[in-house]
Amino acid sequence: MMTSLSQVIVLLVTVCKIESMPNLNINVTEGSTAILKCPTRPVHTWSDAQSDIIYTLNDNINPELKISQTMSLDKDRNLLINNFGKDDVRTYRCSTDDKGNPVWFDFNITLMFKPISYKNDRNITLISVVGNVTNVSLDVNSYPAPTVSWGTGNGGTLGNWKVSTWSNDTSIHRLTSSVLLTARDHFGLYRAVIRNSEGSIDICIRFVAENMVDVQPKKVVCTTTQTVKLRCKFKNVEDPLPTFSWNHDLNGVRIRRLNGEDHKNLSILSIPYCSYQDVGDYTCTVACNGRNMTSTAYVIVQGAPVIIKQDMIADSSNVTLSVTYISEPPLMYIIWYINDENVNISNSSNHSAIVIQNIKADVAVKYYKTPIIMRVSMSKLSFHRAIVSHLDTISCHLKNRIGGREPMFDVSSITANDKEKRNTTCTTYESTTDSGSISEDLITTSHSDELVNKQAKKRKSKACLWLNRPKKKSKIENAIVTPLQSKDANERPKSIELRKAPLKTRGNRRKIRRKLYNAHADDKINKEITEILPTVISKLRAANVLGDFCNFLKVIHNGKFPLTNIAFLLFLDVVRWYSLDNTSSMEYSEDCLKFWKVMYRLFHGKALRFMTGMKSEYGGNNRRGEYSPENSSINFAVPSHKRVATYESVGVSLPSEMKPGIINEALELKSETKSYVLSFDGKKLAPGLTNEWGDQDLFGHEEKETLSQLRERLQNDLNIIELAKVECQRVPGKTEDKIEQLERAVKVVSVRIKDLRMLFLKQQMALNKFMKEGGKDWKKSKYVYAISSVQAQMFLIRNVVKKLLDSNSSLLLLGSLINGTSQLFSENQSIDIFSQRNMFSLKEVEDIPEGLLNELRFIKQRSPQWFDARKQLKLTGSTIFGGLGLDSLKLQRRHFDKVVKNIEIAEVISEDTAKRMEHGTVSEIHAIATLTTKVLPLYYPNLAYIEEGAHVINSNGTPLILVSPDGSLGKMNMDGIDIPTPVVACEFKCPSPSDFRTPVHYDMPIRYIPQVLSEMASMNVEELIYLCWTDESSTVFRVHFDTDTWKLITEEAQNVYLKETPKCPTRLSAESKVIKERLHIFRENNCEFICEVASCKGERIGCSYLVDGSPYVYPICNTEERNNLTVDEMDSIFSSINTCINEAYQICRKKATEVIVWILADTDRIFNPDVPYAIPIAYAMKGYSLGTKPMREMHEDVLRMCHEKKINVVASCFDGQWAKLSTRDKNDKPLTIMQLQRDVYSEASKLTRDAIVKKLLSESILPAEQIFSITEKTEEGLKVSSPMLKRITLSLRHKLKQKKRSSVVQNLDSDTVSCLPDEALETLIVEDNHTMFPDRIDVEEETTSENTVGDNDEEDNDMNEVADQTKNDKPVPPETVAAIFHSLTIHTKVSVSRKWSKRTVSDLIKILDDTSLVRKMQHDELNVVIQLTKTQQLKLGIKIKQTCCRDEKAIFIRRVFGSKQHAGTGLGKCSVTFGNVRRVR
């Protein structure tokens, strides 16, 4: 029995106290002998310090360990370890005495070894681009640290090497450098030499040019009759455009050359109705700028077994039947049937003379007429000839997963030919096959020669072929023996071909071909005319048309009748019709076909039916395909509807179906010499979807995914599911490959769920809008059909989402079975987390061992100790975003006051917020349950979830951030008390449901990124699992650490909170803006969406157990194993997934509601009924809305194609819907002055008053001295003079031909700026700070001045004072005032008439005498006053428009009733006050 170290320690402790001495560090070279010398004597034992294994006891090596060949003791009991390697690195312990006291010494051994590649790959290939710097990164394992230098190169500029270590406790180093390739000759092999004191290695780095061509998908698995689409994309779009070509190869043999559908830098190859002949490599070759670049995809075609050939070989004693076939996927079984009885091993006693063989053979198989040697399968059935008479039918049933085939043999042909085969060595019967692709005449027999004979239809022809000519004459004399062609002319042919000789003919007589005309053709025709002429004349006379016929002959004779007349040509076709024996052989003239094509285009099929008359009908004396013209009574010889529809009257072949895009065939019809106008417009459609039509299609210019990309994505998703199915059913197979394919399949299903949820969100918002518009009784509103349609769509979405979640659960179960973790997986909606073997939680604080109480990692979150630790630091993981100003300056300042100034801020938390926080806390256990039961069994089968407390991040020894992760993933020992090392961090979020966002996160929110980065940094891990949990489902993300982003965050945190005297931020720093941009980049590049799975809820209802010395609670494991799934069950799972994916695609299809057509018309626009001046050259299918950008791209694409076809387009026409195409460029910049003015007005109207003043002051157009000059400071304020305002005033006065200056104008020479305090005025005068005034002022439309500061009431008083300075010489007559009052009392607007019915004329006069009261009148009231004072307005030389604003109307009305000429400012029109700024018009 092995003696354990723990037993020895217990014995020693019972006697005396054992003391531990300092550790001894030793460096040992790899492969040498390590000598461990204990410092004191005597040595009692040598053992492993980290386990209970004892190597020696006194002078003996532990025999139970069987280590005598590697370990030994010398005479002083020193431990010798031979051939020391990596497996021997551990802490060794020697137990000894120190002055009679037992002690032990630990030896920490560090292995010294030469550098080795960390990934065991010394040949590296890097993709580079000429002119771009390529970074090189190598990971090597080395101790001591290595040095690295460049060895040989190939001409590129080599950078310096930098060596960094992953961490202090590892010997793995990262070596980084860079290379600049400036020419194509610099591509090639470079060598890096890595060296340390123990040796060196060479790393070969090969730089290759980036492959600009990419074919997707790389591997396609399709089922027969499906359509495969391969997409070849050329990454570099330059002029000239690239040329694409496709080649189909198999086993290195070229099968055929194909053409794809090319679109600029994209070529799409479609393989419709694929068959086994389509298997192989498809290479896309792109030719551009003299270079040829290629990329290859591989297509696998799966279908029912393909029968290549079936043979029947009979000799005098035995008969052998064979079937040669190809099967992908492999056969499930093959069964031979004799007289419908199964022949196999179990009933071989019934057929003792029957032998079945299944072998492989190399056969030349034809793939599209190209023979290729393939390894195929062959099944043979052999039996004695004597039992043939008892046989009726023999068949071979072949079955694989896709389908089956059952070729049959007719053995009656053998018995029927027994009498004719008495002298025959062997007889071969060969039947036709369903492949039609095998070399036709090769078979194998028991002899060394190969005999070939083609059997007649239905295998009933009888043939007898001799190998050697017999001495006696027989029928075999007519057989010819032809040796097959061999590569060497001197080589004896290995096989011969037997075939019947042709019938003998007498002499070499050639067959006389009948000629239509010979040398005496004219004589023959003349003779025939002479013979039939009397009869013709007699019949014409009887029909009373003889005269007309004679006139017809005369006009032909005289040359007056045009022989190209269409009526004459149609008459000849009728003659040709009745001259035939069978009208099925009727051939129409080209001119007549063009005539009927025009008739069909103009009047459609009705015209053809009307002109035809009655043709021959099937039945009676007519058989199918044989129709006599005598039974017809046609009017004209009209071709069939199909013949006319498919006939092309021009040299361009127009397809019957044209997908949206540019119609190249239509462009060929236009001449290059004319000028054209390109017009486009949209027309409404009836929305609807079929399998191929009805989708929105902007021929590649969609803002998101194009229609072709959506269809290609669907095909790729189905291929991924099929690959996963094939891989999972492969026995045996690599577990890694199966898991990889399953992970891809789960992601495909999850992305489809995401698409449906995004669509559901849009439908929900639309439903809310319709319900709001429809009201409570929406079922009777006009929105009832829209609401019902949306509700039905939402029901379908929920149904398919549930199916997809169930499909993902099935895939996760299958993955757990493959990984051997099925006992961890659960399909239940709730579980007991204490029964999960991969879940370990922390003990309560009072149960944690005393030695671990000081470590925050083991302090349970939300405990008092945890809250106390959070208060000690300035930042936590959840407050980094707000504390660094990444949210807002207000929140940053608030956080700063709380943690730095210790200001207690009462946080007001709403009820909704409190509920959401409580929901997140309560649901965290459910997120853990979902992670451990759904995610870990597939993605991390060897790791367990471990609850975490808190971690502190230090900066230069100063605590900076306290982080509390939701957990980690690591390896946990169920039997020990080891502290696990985190491998992957975990973060959970449980959002509350909302109608305005998806229930789960499909992108990580930006505010959580600093938190997850801090968690990874605190636990020193490179990966984090982010799980978003809801009741229905959970999404999972894999997040990768980014050092640069985290460095920016920590530096900003130090600058704000770790300064000697921290200052509260007054504005957001530039670094915070940079960090926020980097967070968006981080989310795009470092956050990977893994899956969406059905959620599970966790409960603590079971039992667990505690281990002394460990801070964790250990679960009681459930060891129940599941049975593996059968092939049929897996077929059902993957078939259901394919159905759900197709349903999801159909639901997400976008219906087109409008068609946009581009029409190309010549500028002459001359009408011609035969040749239209305008033809459609492109069309697109759009939805309810379409942005300007895709519309511009489509139009430019059509223009570019016209330019390539040398079609001169001089103008483009479109309606106002697309006016932006003519007023803005592709960068949304204005193209016209009017659009620029509109943009300026739109931008200025959104600005506040302060922003406008600030802009005017900061963007002056004149020097300050030309606008204002400071004169003196007075008690009233600062007086300034304005020469420029003087010039403006004079210009306005001259324009309006004013005779007198108003009081306001006289005061413009010096204005008082009284809005500034005295201190500011003193500063202005002392420092002569002229920059406080604008250098320019914008006077395009309006001038601003801040010389008057006050409220509206003060300005109204000023205006009243100005208006009251003079009286009107001709006051308004009292009759007019009375008429105004009467009109107001009978006003059509009820509010106006009701208001004035309670007032008097005196009230009206009082109001009209005060500007402030006039301004309070309504527009309707002011319009009445304006309408009834037109006479007074004419006398004053003014005209008040009813479209003016209320302030302008009030001022002009006061002029009519109160002043002589100018009320207000006197600057020509009016003065309107807005706030504290007076705008002068």
Say which residue, 1133 or 510, is predicted with more confidence: 1133
Q: Which of 589-593, 1304-1308, 1395-1399 bottoms out in mean pLDDT, i.e. has the lowest?
A: 1304-1308
CB distance 616 to 583 below 8 Å: yes
Largest CA distance in the chain: 154
Give the number of other CB atoms < 10 A from CB of residue 1347: 16
Q: Read off the pLDDT of residues 292-337 as tens digits, 9 standing for 90 and up.
A: 888 899 999 988 999 988 888 887 778 888 999 998 888 888 888 8
The 3-state DSSP class for residue 39 equals coil
Residue-level pLDDT at 758: 93
Condensed to tens digits (0 to 9), the pLDDT of residues 143-191 reads 888 999 998 888 888 889 988 886 666 788 888 999 988 887 888 889 9
Cβ neighbours around 1469 below 10 Å, total: 18
Residue 326 in contact with residue 433, Cβ under 8 Å?
Answer: no
pLDDT value at 467 more than 60: no
User: What separation in angstroms does the CA of 203 have from each of 156, 176, 459, 1045?
Assistant: 17, 13, 67, 31
Please spell the DSSP secondary structure of 267-336, one letter per residue. Answer: EEEEE-S--GGG-EEEEEEEEETTEEEEEEEEEEEE-S-EEEEEEEEEESSEEEEEEEEE-SSPEEEEEE
Token pair recorded at residue 391: 């046989």
Rounded distance between C-alpha atoms, residue 181 and residue 409, angstroms? 68
> Burial level of 1232, CB count in 10 A (0-12/13-18/19+)?
exposed
pLDDT score recorded for residue 1328: 38
User: Under a CB-based contact definition with an 8 Å cutoff, are residues 414 and 312 in contact?
Assistant: yes
The pLDDT value given to residue 413: 65
Per residue in 1141-1200, pLDDT tens? 999 999 999 999 999 999 999 888 777 766 678 889 999 999 988 989 999 999 999 999
What pLDDT is stored for residue 640 in this prediction? 87
Selection from 816-830, 1017-1031, 1301-1315, 1319-1333 with the highest mean pLDDT: 1017-1031
Q: Is the pLDDT score of 503 beyond 60?
A: no
Q: Please tell me the predicted confidence (pLDDT) of residue 620.
A: 53
Helix axes 1374-1385, 1401-1408, angle to 10 degrees: 110
CB 1052 within 8 A of CB 1071: yes
pLDDT higher than 60, residue 1407: yes
Of the candidates 88, 94, 175, the one whose C-alpha atom is nearest the C-alpha of residue 137 is: 175
Residue 1361: which of 1310, 1395, 1412 has the closest Cα? 1412
Q: Regarding predicted confidence, which is higher, 165 or 472?
A: 165
Does the pLDDT at position 889 exceed 60?
yes
pTM exceeds 0.85 for this model: no
- What are the residues facing 95 on neighbouring strands? 45, 104
1366 contacts 1459 by C-beta, under 8 angstroms:
yes
Q: Which residues contact 298 (CB under 8 A, 6 or more apart)?
A: 218, 219, 220, 280, 281, 282
Across the range 629-639, mean pLDDT stands at 87
Pair 647, 600: CB distance under 8 Å:
no
CA distance 972 to 991: 30
> Cα(388)–Cα(423) distance, rounded to whole angstroms?
19
Burial of residue 770 (CB within 10 Å: 0-12, 13-18, 19+) is buried
pLDDT for 1351 beyond 80: no
Segments of 1216-1281 assigned E as strands: 1269-1273, 1278-1281
- Per-residue pLDDT reduced to its tens digit, 1250-1265: 888 877 777 655 555 5
Give the pLDDT mean for 1385-1404: 85
Per-residue pLDDT tens digits for 1441-1453: 777 888 788 888 8
* pLDDT tens for each residue of 695-746: 999 998 988 888 989 999 999 999 999 999 988 888 777 888 899 999 999 9
Look over the chain and give the mean of its residue pLDDT values, rounded to a whole number: 78
Yes or no: say if 735 and 741 are a contact pair by the CB < 8 Å rule.
Answer: no
Q: In this predicted model, what pLDDT tens digit does every residue of 1429-1480 receive, in sequence order?
A: 888 787 777 778 777 888 788 888 877 886 433 333 332 333 333 233 333 3
